[in-house]
Amino acid sequence: KRNRKKKYCSKECQLGIWIQAGGDTAEKQGRVLEYDVISTLQEMGYEVEFSPQKLIENRFPVDAYLPEIDVYLQADGIYWHAKPEFYLDEELDENQLKHRRNDLEFEKICLDKKIKFARFWQDDFYSNPRYVLQNAITTALNRYSFFQ
């Protein structure tokens, strides 16, 4: 039996192709939130790197990278990232626990390397997309301003 799974040169390439293909493919891959974030950023006039899911340290994907201001943005889904208002710690499943651990490790790496990043929740984004994105960008830009 042949393996029909598509091969990609890297995870970054695979994730970029999903987004590049548009909304239908993004939806099938569970990436509607990321697609909506990137579309909104482009409507706001930001240049979003061609491969929207850029990898930090070759393992942590972020949803959008804005090269002209060197900012990384991460949209966290309510389920996968277990938004505390919806999920008690003792109720988390294995996937949610894994995402929580990865989120903490990602943030530590970004802080240690002074990478300008910000996270926001899915429900907050959909309630007021432009406001949430502008607030996230401002947060990222101001994250290390006290060092300068």
Instruction: Give the pairing of strands 60-62 and 54-56.
Output: antiparallel
Specify the pLDDT at position 75: 92
Specify the pLDDT at position 29: 47
State which H helix or E strand residue 110 sits in: helix 94-112
**Number of Cα atoms under 13 Å in the Cβ half of residue 78:** 8
Helix axes 32-43, 11-20, angle to 10 degrees: 70
Tokens of 60: 């942590």
Q: Show Cβ contacts of residue 103 under 8 Å, excluding neighbours closer than 6 positions.
A: 76, 81, 119
Specify the pLDDT at position 33: 87
Q: What is the pLDDT along the chain (148 residues), one digit of tens a residue?
A: 433 444 445 545 555 544 454 444 444 445 788 889 989 999 999 988 755 557 888 888 888 899 999 999 999 999 989 999 999 999 999 999 999 999 999 999 999 999 999 999 999 999 999 999 999 999 999 987 755 5
How many residues does this entry show for the chain?
A: 148
Contact 132, 125 (CB under 8 A): yes
